[in-house]
Amino acid sequence: MSGPAILVTGGAGFIGSNIVARLARRGDADIVVCDRLGDAADGKWKNIARHDVADLVAPEQLDAWLSGNAARVAGVVHMGAISSTTEPDADLIADTNFRLSKRVWDWCAAEAKPLVYASSAATYGDGALGFVDDNAFGAVLAQRPLNAYGWSKKLFDLYALRAAARGNAPPRWSGLRFFNVYGPNEYHKGGQKSVVAHMYPKAAAGEVTRLFKSHHPDYPDGGQKRDFVYVDDCVDVAEWLLTSDKSAGVVNVGSGRARTFLELAEALHIALGSKPVVEFVDTPPDIRRNYQYFTEADLTRLRALGYDRQFTSIEAGVGAYVREYLAQEDPYV
């Protein structure tokens, strides 16, 4: 390898591998993936199997790789994280999502490399303060995430904002607050897969679709709302920011429209050519207390930056996901 390279941490994961696919198809730089592949039987390696990946770097080797390849790196896409909202090891979350991210940020700042990193809408907690991506330090500090994952993302957003205010920032940087992302290459995520991926096997087999009952007087059963965003849209935003002269700061990435879980189930069955038979079950007590009934990305900041592409509706996104991936023998990007 001697030409320019783009480093994608978490590049074998869900969103990261979709970004790798897009950048590999561009063909204007070597793509280097930093990630752990885990048990081969889980299939995470298949997320990048179709693409020309110039190098694989283990997370513990990342610092050394960066030191030896600074001249070649054209940009860094930092998607690597523990993304499970139920991970019990808070020390592991802090080490992976905060300390590692700080090292990536500091290196990009010192070497003047553009950085796009994954933040999360989990920083907003229950949404009591809204879903506006206000980059004022105090506004971010006031957010109350509901789990350690969301807290770790908030912690790093604060680090980025503080460092940028002190002039210690990459030349262009953007932290993408992803909302409820769904799409291909999430199959290895187990219980953290999207609702669409969970519902598909039973829906395709003609079985009952189960959704959580509402335990909130303002929402009917199945009427809980989320901002569901197709992974292709997330990749579009990441690619646009990486390859443009824009520095977005911390910015929302969602569809900008909250939709109900019942609408999501209906979109899935439309794609399958069937009618849903829905059964509502109690929300498990262990997640009921922190259950979100509404999320919706405010896209004002992203639009003000000049991003004018339209986001995919759940009808179009779920339809594409089913036809092009879930219903195929080889469902990978």
CA 114 – CA 164 distance, rounded (Å): 13
Confidence of residue 85 (pLDDT cuts 50, 70, 90): confident
Q: What kind and span of H or E run contains 203?
A: helix 195-204
Is the pLDDT score of 32 beyond 90? Answer: yes
Contact call for residues 242 and 77 (beta carbons, < 8 A): yes
pLDDT of residue 1: 58
Tokens of 190: 């187990």
CA 121 – CA 185 distance, rounded (Å): 20
Q: What is the mean pLDDT of residues 227-250?
A: 96
pLDDT tens, residue by residue, 12-26: 999 999 999 999 999
Q: Where are the alpha helices (DSSP H) in 33-85?
A: 62-69
Q: Which of 218-227, 280-289, 299-308 has the lowest mean pLDDT?
A: 280-289
Share of residues in the chain with pLDDT > 90 (%): 95
CA 82 – CA 310 distance, rounded (Å): 29
pLDDT of residue 290: 85
CA 266 – CA 283 distance, rounded (Å): 20
DSSP helix/strand/coil, 279: strand
CA 79 – CA 15 distance, rounded (Å): 7
| 221-to-11, 43, 53, 178, 275 alpha-carbon distances in Å | 37, 35, 45, 25, 18
pLDDT of residue 152: 98
pLDDT tens, residue by residue, 41-61: 999 999 999 999 999 999 999
Amino acid 51 reads H
pLDDT of residue 111: 98
DSSP state for residue 73 in the 8-state scheme: E
Confidence of residue 314 (pLDDT cuts 50, 70, 90): very high
Q: What is the mean pLDDT of residues 150-157?
A: 98
pLDDT of residue 287: 86
The answer to pTM > 0.85 is yes
Contact call for residues 23 and 8 (beta carbons, < 8 A): yes
CA 63 – CA 59 distance, rounded (Å): 8
Q: What is the mean pLDDT of residues 99-106?
A: 98
pLDDT of residue 166: 98
Q: What is the mean pLDDT of residues 157-170?
A: 98
Residues that are catalytic: 149, 189
What structural domains does the chain harbor? 5-181+228-256+296-312 (3.40.50.720), 183-226+258-294+319-326 (3.90.25.10)
Q: What is the DSSP string of 139-202?
A: HHHT---SSHHHHHHHHHHHHHHHHHHTT-S-SSEEEEEE-EEE-TT-GGGGGGS-HHHHHHHH
Ramachandran region, residue 297 (left: φ > 0; alpha: ψ -120 to 50; beta: rest): beta
